[in-house]
Amino acid sequence: MKRLFVANWKMNSTRAQARLYARVLGERMGVSSGDVELVVAPPFTAFEETRDPEGRWALAAQNVSSHREGPFTGEISAKMLAEAGCRYVLVGHSERRHLFGEHPPTLAAKIARVREAGLLPIYCLGETEEERITGREEQVLASQVATLEHDAGGPLVIAYEPVWAIGTGRAATPADAAQAREILQGLLSGRRDVRILYGGSVTAVNAQALLQGSGMDGFLIGGASLDPSGFASIAGLP
Ligand code: PEP
């Protein structure tokens, strides 16, 4: 399976900035993405500018409604995302869980909507610092994986993102990430076609050591992905 690198822009970039980003990333990539898969998750407003007409990277949405359609002001449905050309959808990002109070039933419903629309979920999970210090990492990961209990199945991407590493400049060590990967592999052993990514303060400087030392299938990258050249370097492009 190809390694997967996902750029999560969060609430950054205008359409003009997205257009420039796509141009620079395209120049950096040349004719193909080679043996890696690249995905960019811009704000909804910049999908059109971020799309690659040559298909060298795919689009992801940073969020989706847990409802199919109807009177839900401000929400975007999975069907709308599919029509807008998305392939992946982030579900369960720690900012959605902690800042917007998204709980397991909502996340399970979002994953169901994503599947119905023929899209692929990138399900994010990870422990807080307190949960780690008190030795509850495994228990927390198990309860977060349990949200997938009713998932209809199909290819799945898991992004292990320890909350204490997101946007802090304190990436997990390769050994810590490898340990989390092993726990997740055990929890997901009944499933096929699963890729496990690491996310949390990945940069062009720490990427290679993290990738090799953790055995992860790629990264979900926030801050460092805002620079297209940095994103390409993290993905190992020449
Ligand atoms: C993220 O938001 O998913 C993330 C990993 O952010 P950062 O790379 O900035 O830590």
Structural tokens at position 69: 């359609």
The alpha carbon of 222 and the centre of ligand 1 are apart by a number of angstroms equal to 3
- Locate the ligand 1 atom nearest the alpha carbon of residue 219 and give its number: 5
167 Cβ closer than 6 Å to some ligand 1 atom = yes
Q: Is the pLDDT of residue 32 over 80?
A: no
CA-proximal residue: ligand 1, atom 6 (nearest): 222
Question: What positions carry a catalytic annotation?
Answer: 93, 161
- Locate the ligand 1 atom nearest the alpha carbon of residue 223 and give its number: 9
Which pLDDT band, with edges at 50, 70 and 90, does 152 fall under? confident
**% of the chain at pLDDT higher than 90:** 94
Which pLDDT band, with edges at 50, 70 and 90, does 34 fall under? confident
- Give the mean pLDDT of 109-133: 98
Closest CA to 177 of 125, 213, 127: 213
Domain count within the chain = 1
Q: List residues bridging with 39 in a β-sheet.
A: 6, 58
**pLDDT at residue 91 in the model:** 98
CA distance 219 to 8: 10
- Per residue, the 3-state secondary structure of the chain, as one string, reads CCEEEEEECCCCCCHHHHHHHHHHHHHHHCCCCCCEEEEEECCHHHHHHHCCCCCCEEEEECCCCCCCCCCCCCCCCHHHHHHCCEEEEEECCHHHHHHCCCCHHHHHHHHHHHHHCCCEEEEEECCCHHHHHCCCHHHHHHHHHHHHCCCCCCCEEEEECCHHHCCCCCCCCHHHHHHHHHHHHHHCCCCCCEEEEEECCCCCCCHHHHHHHHCCCEEEECHHHHCHHHHHHHCCCC
CA torsion 229-230-234-235 (nearest 10°) is -30
pTM of the model: 0.97
Q: Which domain holds residue 56?
A: 3-234
Per-residue pLDDT tens over the stretch 2-12? 999 999 999 99
CATH no. for residue 93? 3.20.20.70
* Mean pLDDT over each residue of the chain, to the nearest integer: 96
**pLDDT at residue 27 in the model:** 93
**% of the chain at pLDDT higher than 70:** 100
- Locate the ligand 1 atom nearest the alpha carbon of residue 10 and give its number: 2
Which pLDDT band, with edges at 50, 70 and 90, does 121 fall under? very high
